[in-house]
A and B are shown apart, each in its own frame.
Chain A
Amino acid sequence: SFALLHVAVQGTVSLQCSNVRRGFHRAALLRLASDSKSDTSVPPPSYHEVHTAGESSSSSAQGESSEDAQPNTSFQDQSGEHGEDYETEEQLQARILTAALEFVPQHGWTVEAIAAAAETLGLSSASTGMFNNGAGDLVLHFVAQCNAQLAETLAEQNNQVQLGQAEAKKTAEFLKDAVETRLRMLIPYIDTWPQAMSILLLPHNIPDSLKHLSTMVDDIWYYAGDRSTDVNWYTRRAALTGIYNTTELVMVQDSSPDFEETWAFLDNRIKDVVNMANTAKQVQATGEAVVQGLMGAAITLKNLTGMNQRR
C-alpha cells in the first residue's frame, strides 16, 4: 500500500503539479519502493529536520489559494489517495535531497549520496530515477536552501532594525556580513565544494545556478536598502556578484583557521567597490563642473563677439 505517502502535511500546500507522465513515474517508483520495504512505522530520523526545512519554504505557500491545488486531482486519482495525508512529488524530492546532504561528505555530490539518503528514508535506491539531473538536482537544492535561509536571516535583522532593537548597519558592513553569513553555510561541505561548483558550471545547470545567484544578490541589495531604478541597479548587483564569486573561490582553497584569510579578502574587495563608487561620483561631479565651465566660456565668447544678441 502507499503507507509511505501518509506524511502529515499541515494545511494546504500550494504547488505546481507536473504533468501526467511524472505522476505515472512516481506511482511506479513508489509501488517499487513499497514492495521492497518491510515496515514503515518508524519515521526516518531526519524527518523533523527535513520537514522543518521543507516547511520553511512551503509555509508561506500555505496561505495561497486552493486554486493551485486543482491540478493535483489527476495525480490524486492515479495514486488513489485523497484528503490531506499525501505528499507531493516535489515535497518528497525535497525531503530526499535534504537527507542526502548528510551523505555528501562521504559520497560527494553524486547520485550515490541521493541513493543512500533514499534508503535511510525507507525508499528503494531506485528512487534516484526521480531526479533527472542527478547530482545537479542535489547541488541546486542545497543552493536554494542556503539562499532561503539567508533571506530569512536578512529579513529577521531588518525586522529588528525596524522595531528599533538593533542599529542599522552601514552598507559596506551589511554587505560583508551578508556575504559572510552565506559563505559560512558552505563550511560543512567545503571539502567537496569544488565538485559542486563544477557541477553548477555544467551547461544545462547554468541557467538555474545563475538564477539562484542573481536572486541571492538581489535579496542582499534589497535588504541593504538599495531602491535604485536606474543603471545603478545593474552595476551594484554586478559588483556584488563579482565579490561573491571571487570570495567563494578564495574560500575553497583557504586553509587558515576559521577562514580568516577569506574574510580579510572579502573585506578588501568590498572596500575596493566602495572606493570605486566614490571615485565614480567624484569623476562625474568634476566632469559636470568642467562642462559648466566650458559653456560659460562659450557664452562669454559669444557675448564678446556680439553673436549673442537678437537682432
Chain B
Amino acid sequence: MQRAAKCALRLDLSRAFCLSRSGTVVVMQKSLPPPRDEEEKAMLDSMLRVDHAGEYGANRIYAGQMAVLSRTRTGPLIQYMWDQEKMHLEKFNEILGEHRVRPTLLLPLWNIAGFALGMILTRIACLLAFEGTMSCTVAVEESISEHYNSQIQTLMEAEPERYTELLQVIKEFCDDEKKNRDTGLEHDAESVPGYLLLKTVIQVDCKAAIYILQRI
C-alpha cells in the first residue's frame, strides 16, 4: 500500500509542471497517465528506457554511417534520416525527464558501439557492393520497426485507452522508421551480397541490446 501510494504521490506532485534548468516553469503535455502501481511504472519505465536508448543508438549508428557515406550520392539522404532520428531522441528525452524515468547506465557504451557498428558495417557493405549502399540503414530500420511494433502490441493488449498519447508517439515513430526503410530499399540496398547475413547480425544485436536495456 505504502509503495503504491508513494508512487502515485510522487507523480501527482510533479503533475503538469516541471522546473527547467534556468528555473523557469515549463508546462508540459503529459504523454503518460500517472502509473497506478509499481508494476505498471516498472513496465513503462523499462519500455521508455529501451526506446530512449534505441533512439540514442540509432543516432550514433547514423553518425557512423555518415562518417563513411557523407561524400557519396546517398549522403544527403542519410543526413535527412539522421535529422529525423535526432527529433525522435529529443522527444524521448522530454518524456524521460517528464516522467522521471531512469536512463540506461550503458549510454556511454552505446555511444561508442553505435558509432562503430554504423561505420564498420557500412564500410563492409560498401566494399561488397556499390559505394553509398544503404543496406545498414535498411537492416537497422527493420529491426527498430519490429521492436516498436511489438511495443505497440503490448500496449494495445494491456489497455489502449490508457496509453493513447504514448501509442500515438510510438506509432508515429514506427511509421517514420518504416518510411526510411522503404527509401533505403528503393536505393537497392538489398542487392548487396550477404545482405541477409548483415540483416541477421543487426537483428541479433538489437535483440540482445533490448534484452540488456530492459534490465540495466
Contact = CB atoms under 8 A, between A and B. Distances in A.
Q: Do A and B make up one complex?
A: yes
Interface of A: 13-16, 57-58, 60-61, 63-65, 68, 88, 90-91, 94, 144, 148, 151-152, 155, 158, 161-162, 168, 215, 218-219, 222-225, 227-231, 233-234
Given A68-B37, A227-B21, A233-B102, A222 B14 contact: yes
A219 B10 contact: yes
A195 B21 CA distance: 39
A68 B12 CA distance: 18
Nearest to A169: B23
A148 B21 contact: no
B97 interface: yes
Nearest to A144: B2
B13 interface: yes
A146 to B, nearest CB: 12
B205 to A, nearest CB: 22
Given A58-B5, A230-B103, A65 B36 contact: yes
Interface residues of B, number: 34
Nearest to B9: A60
B113 interface: no
Contact of A231 (B21, B97, B107): B107
Interface in B37-61: 37, 52
Contact of A14 (B4, B25, B103, B108): B4
A161 B19 contact: yes
Nearest to A141: B2
A143 B18 CA distance: 26
A158 B37 CA distance: 25
A229 B5 contact: no
B14 A61 contact: no
B8 A57 contact: no
A225 B100 CA distance: 11
Contacts, number: 93
Interface in B76-120: 92-93, 96-98, 100, 102-103, 105, 107-108
A229 B9 contact: no
Contacts of B24: 168
A239 B1 CA distance: 31
Contacts of A151: 9-10, 13
Contacts of A158: 13, 17, 19
Contacts of B108: 231
23 contacts: A13-B1, A14-B1, A15-B1, A16-B4, A16-B37, A57-B6, A57-B9, A58-B5, A60-B8, A61-B8, A65-B36, A68-B36, A144-B6, A148-B6, A148-B9, A155-B13, A158-B19, A161-B23, A218-B100, A225-B19, A227-B93, A229-B96, A229-B103
A230 B93 CA distance: 9
A16 B5 CA distance: 10
Interface string B164-183: 00000000000000000000
Given A60-B5, A155-B14, A225-B20, 18 more contacts: A14-B4, A16-B1, A57-B2, A61-B8, A68-B4, A68-B37, A88-B1, A148-B6, A151-B9, A151-B10, A152-B13, A161-B25, A168-B24, A215-B6, A215-B10, A224-B19, A225-B23, A233-B103
Contact of A64 (B2, B8, B23): B8
B13 A14 contact: no
